Amino acid sequence: MLPAIEDANRLGFLVYPPLHDHESVQLQARGNGVLAITWFINGDRGLRSPAFVVQVRRSAGPGGLDDTQVTILDEHAGFDAATAVTLVAAVTSGINSPPGSVGLRGAHNFITPAGWDTVYTAVFNDPQRPAVSTLTTRVETDWFPCETEFRVILEKGDITSVIGSGPIGQVLFVPREDCLIAEATEVERQRFAAAHQDSLVHSVSAAKTTRYGGVFSDYYREQQHVHRNGAGDGQPLR
């Protein structure tokens, strides 16, 4: 495996929504500033059925109040209009701020040590389609009490689903310090080129073929363990 693929999802932590495993939510942008949020529950047979729909229509002009309409689809599920609005508010935030966006709330909030920030982003290396755009934000969570949310952008016709057992985003923690970038010297360039060529040779020699004909190498992972255990030279490329 390539390091860029193998280690990307080891960065930070996956965040899940505040839903039970038998609950799920579907969000659909219906155009004209209307966002439909459907709440599903799993029945005794494990089949998913809609309990209610909350439609939020964006108001025109600055400072207006959005229009919210609730439709109960399953009278036996035990939800009323007030409960439906409360549940939607528990899993979403800031609907249509900016227009077409909605925040998906995480089940956990984070406080970082002094000088550390939290980065909120989409799940890395998730090739599933269709996918909606997710904004990436960085917040100084050592002093600001930020509620975890992942803001997605929905265009007309877009649909996204949220389930209790599936992550909605990823967080990572970074130090708030200046990063200085300098031009490499010729010696550093040569050392990088030599190290890169050496890693290619070792990677090829460690290559294995699966029974399906695929070729992969454990060289990066093996060397990672060596350096983490202190058996390597511990020296950076430069």
pLDDT digits (tens, 9 = 90+) for 73-103: 998 889 999 999 999 999 999 887 777 789 9
Strands, sheet with 169-175, edge to edge from the N-terminal-most edge strand: 13-15, 169-175, 116-121, 137-139
Q: Is residue 224 part of a domain?
A: yes
Q: How far apart are CA 28 and CA 142, in angstroms?
A: 35
Q: Is residue 236 part of a domain?
A: no
Residues 100 and 202 in one domain: no
Residues 12 and 96 in one domain: yes
Q: Which domain holds residue 189?
A: 180-228
Please state the pTM of the whole predicted model: 0.80
Residues 166 and 196 in one domain: no
**8-state DSSP, 98:** S
Average pLDDT over residues 107-117: 97
Dump pLDDT digits (tens) for 129-183.
777 889 999 999 999 999 999 999 999 999 999 999 999 999 999 999 988 999 9
CB 116 within 8 A of CB 94: no
Give me the number of domains the chain comprises. Answer: 2
Residues 118 and 222 in one domain: no
Q: How far apart are CA 99 and CA 197, in angstroms?
A: 50
Given a cut of 70, whether residue 65 has pLDDT beyond it is no
Given a cut of 80, whether residue 58 has pLDDT beyond it is no
Helices (H), the chain: 3-6, 81-91, 186-205, 219-228
Residues 88 and 192 in one domain: no
Dump pLDDT digits (tens) for 170-212.
999 999 998 899 999 999 999 999 999 998 898 888 888 888 8
Q: Is residue 46 part of a domain?
A: yes
Residues 118 and 198 in one domain: no
Residues 58 and 166 in one domain: yes
Q: What is the pLDDT of residue 9?
A: 58
Q: How far apart are CA 233 and CA 216, in angstroms?
A: 26
Taking Cα atoms as reference points, which of 80, 23, 87, 27 lies closest to residue 55?
Answer: 27
